[in-house]
Amino acid sequence: MGAASVSTDSTGTTPLLVTPGKIIAVHLNYPSRAAQRGRTPEQPSYFLKPASSLNSSGAPVERPDGCELLVFEGEIALVIGRRTRGVSPEEGWAAVSHVTAANDFGVYDLRSADKGSNLRSKGADGFTPVGPTMLSSAGLDPAALRIRTWVNGTLTQEDTTADLLFSFGRLVADLSQLLTLEPGDLILTGTPAGSSVVVPGDTVEVEVDAPGTPGAPGTGRLVTPIRQGTVPFGAFGAGPQIDDLQRTEAWGSAEAAGLQRASVTAPKPEPAPFALTEKLKARINSVGTATLSAQLRKRGLNSVSIDGLGSTRPATRLVGRARTLRYVPAREDLFESHGGGYNAQKRAFDSLGPDDVLVIEARGERGTGTVGDILALRAQVRGAAGIVTDGGVRDLAAVAALEIPTYHAGPHPAVLGRRHVPWDTDLTVACGGASVQPGDVIVGDADGLLVMPPHLVEEVVAAAIVQEREETFIAAMVAAGHGVDGLYPMNAEWKARYGVWQEEQE
């Protein structure tokens, strides 16, 4: 559908919006939001949202499967009423026919893939609700409008247009220097402070009004229920990726995100590109952890075993990439601020995906549970490869009945808050005496658990395959009655005989 304009309903009195040709959004425009972000732009900057992101009041918005940080942004939307090109800031407001309420939804989990364009993070179907009605610009003072947002009935955003960084007329003029604005085009004019994360089950409402104007006209509340998406991302595009900086910006502050301030002073460096392919997993699974451990030791890595844990499925091989969760010792005030609601523990389990292994730092504390049957089931449903905790497990019989392997320090019936506060995720942790970083490769079998740095995996696995082939030959020779002197390890004579044996096997 091409560019469109404003129409009216059957009564002829309520303006309704049809599909716009362009939806243009402003990055920062409210001083309160600029202060929250810690930067005040000298000039306005913009991004485009597709017309397919348009949504109506009452229609739900889905948080994509595998994403954690769905964020609302209540905004005032300008509707262009006439073809506009090259106007001045003084003339810009005259090009606006109506204003309405809008909600600029986005998932911060996809910002890293957008590189600033916001196409995938803010352009999903339904991510731009507008309405429910529109206010004619005639008689409105563009500097006397009010924007308010509620989440589950609680007021979370309230600001006015009295001191915007960039007036509405200036935005129209600036854009019209290069773009022809067509009737029906939408300009989202920025959000004030108070934007934050919402989760499935929440309801967000946005309203724009003019309290100082006779009759105090308003748009009514734009209502958007949040629901959970169920279709996972494919492997053919960039998937969700978050760090503590994204969490801080999504929630509005480190405290609101349940993070220590020091941990978000700078974004974490991205790990070197590494893909745990099906072929590589098969190669890893073809050798034992004992062999991998020997090859890591040859490369100077001795402190790479996670010790003292048992598995709910000791016969199941575990291979995956580490995701991490850290608990700190229980303290009543900290548990009150970080233990309830959608805390770090729940966020961690909700964000797991295929091949993920959740590694939990519980300080070896066995006096309470660190995971139970519900969250273990959630990890299995999400397709995770396994769970590793150096703490206790609740509901052990139920957890052991699941297909997902869980490595743990022992059973305990008590709840998490007895000894732990869920604190943060996806950072370097200590588990079972080993340091584990997000993205490390975790391998487990009956001999135990190993942590392999991603940059060494290919090299270590290739060497381990060679080692096990050699050991198969040595075992065959020992079974045939040969002594181990000179054979284990092989001297030059035995290496020559090994070469002949290899050819015979082929």
Q: Which residue has the tokens 């001795």?
A: 302
The arrangement of strands across the sheet holding 222-228 comes to: 61-63, 222-228, 203-209, 146-151, 154-160
Does any domain span residue 43? yes
Higher pLDDT, 66 or 115: 66
Residues 93 and 144 in one domain: yes
Residues 422 and 474 in one domain: no
Residues 177 and 503: their CA atoms lie apart, in Å, by 75
Does any domain span residue 295? no
Residues 55 and 131: their CA atoms lie apart, in Å, by 9
Residues 208 and 356 in one domain: no
Give the CATH number for residue 390.
Answer: 3.50.30.40
Q: For 324-340, what is each residue's pLDDT tens digit?
A: 999 999 999 999 889 88
Residues 195 and 340 in one domain: no
Question: Can you give the pLDDT at residue 241?
Answer: 83
Question: Can you give the pLDDT at residue 269?
Answer: 52
Residues 73 and 220 in one domain: yes
On whether the CB atoms of residues 61 and 94 are closer than 8 A, the answer is no
Does any domain span residue 238? no
Query: Is 70 exceeded by the pLDDT of residue 103?
Result: yes
Does any domain span residue 202? yes
Lowest mean pLDDT among 15-19, 243-247, 315-319, 445-449: 15-19
Residues 399 and 442 in one domain: yes
Residues 368 and 415 in one domain: yes
Residue 18 pLDDT grade (very low, low, confident, very high; cuts 50, 70, 90): low
Q: For all residues of the chain together, what is the average pLDDT?
A: 89
Question: Beta 106-107 vs 203-209: how paired, if at all?
Answer: unpaired
Question: Can you give the pLDDT at residue 160?
Answer: 94
- Kindly state the percentage of the chain with pLDDT values over 90: 73
Average pLDDT of the segment spanning 199-228: 93
- Number of domains observed in the structure of the chain: 3
On whether the CB atoms of residues 243 and 426 are closer than 8 A, the answer is yes
Query: Is 50 exceeded by the pLDDT of residue 11?
Result: no
Does any domain span residue 412? yes
Average pLDDT of the segment spanning 414-419: 93
**Structure tokens given for 362:** 């519980």
Residues 338 and 400 in one domain: yes
Q: For 437-457, what is each residue's pLDDT tens digit?
A: 999 999 999 899 999 999 999
What SS3 class is residue 74?
strand
Does any domain span residue 251? no
Domain boundary among 452, 471, 487: 452
Amino acid at site 178: L
Domain boundary among 230, 251, 285: 230
Residues 355 and 382: their CA atoms lie apart, in Å, by 10
Q: For 135-144, what is each residue's pLDDT tens digit?
A: 999 989 999 9
Does any domain span residue 255? no
Domain boundary among 412, 434, 452: 452
Q: For 384-416, what is each residue's pLDDT tens digit?
A: 999 999 999 999 999 999 999 999 999 999 999
Residues 179 and 73 in one domain: yes
Beta bridge partners of residue 100, listed in sequence order: 77, 134
- Kindly state the percentage of the chain with pLDDT values over 70: 93
Lowest mean pLDDT among 44-58, 263-277, 363-377: 263-277
Residues 59 and 194 in one domain: yes
Residues 196 and 125 in one domain: yes
Give the CATH number for residue 183.
Answer: 3.90.850.10
Query: Is 80 exceeded by the pLDDT of residue 323?
Result: yes
192's CB contacts (< 8 A; 6+ apart) are: 30, 32, 33, 74, 147, 157, 158, 159
> In whole angstroms, how large is the CA radius of gyration of the chain?
29
Determine the structural domain holding residue 310 and report its residue range. Answer: 302-452
Please report, for residues 349, 365, 409, the alpha-carbon distance to residue 308 in angstroms, rounded to integers and kept in the order given: 23, 12, 7
Higher pLDDT, 261 or 76: 76
On whether the CB atoms of residues 204 and 198 are closer than 8 A, the answer is yes
On whether the CB atoms of residues 431 and 389 are closer than 8 A, the answer is yes
Residue 113 pLDDT grade (very low, low, confident, very high; cuts 50, 70, 90): confident
Residues 347 and 440 in one domain: yes
Q: For 126-176, what is each residue's pLDDT tens digit?
A: 999 999 999 999 989 999 999 999 999 999 999 999 999 999 999 999 999
Does any domain span residue 494? yes
Question: Can you give the pLDDT at residue 12?
Answer: 33
